[in-house]
Structure 1
């Protein structure tokens, strides 16, 4: 793991939180699909996925429909342990 081992989704930039939410709502997606859903640039999505992978929230797998692409999925156990970004943002 690179970076701070205590970093959580809450500590990430807004773009990474958006990518997290897109994956949470849509399930497994390729980078292109995340770009389309989030309306972020491909470079921003790559950076966000890298940040999410660094804190073990996102898993990268082979996309069998097109082996040139990867399929990104939320690690549900890590999300539950982390609490996700909703805990801090929704408290009133």
Structure 2
């Protein structure tokens, strides 16, 4: 696991950095799973994920079996599989 954060994340809030590092360490998660793993509120996770999506570090999709859930993952995971 890389020690340093990307520049786009380094100056963000602790919540954004925590969500990024959790996804980096554990792979994809739903919003609820991220909230449980980080002890952040679902709203904070959603806001942090939106920030990370805006700087193109993560992507998301609707969960295949529950369209109400969003699954977040690092873009580099997707890009490296090509």
1:17-36 correspondence runs (5 A) = 17-36=17-36
Task: Determine helix, strand or coil for the equivalent of 1:60.
Answer: strand
Q: Which contiguous aligned blocks of 4+ residues in structure 1 show a shift greater than 2 angstroms? A: none
- Local SS of the residue matching 1:48: helix
Once residues 12 and 65 of structure 2 are traced to their aligned partners in structure 1, the CA distance between those partners, rounded to angstroms, is: 31
Task: Please tell me whether residue 72 in structure 1 is matched to residue 72 in structure 2.
Answer: yes
Q: Separation in 2 of the partners of 1:54 and 1:67?
A: 22
Higher Cα Rg, which structure: 1
User: Which SS does the other structure have where 1:50 is aligned?
Assistant: helix
- RMSD (CA atoms): 1.3
Q: CA deviation at 1:65?
A: 2.5
Higher RCO (Cα < 8 Å, 6 or more apart): 1
- The runs of 5 or more residues in structure 1 that have no matched partner are 1-6, 78-92
2:40 aligned partner: 40
Secondary structure at 1:72 match in 2: strand
SS where residue 66 of structure 2 aligns? Answer: coil
Matched positions, count: 71
TM superposition score normalised by structure 2: 0.80
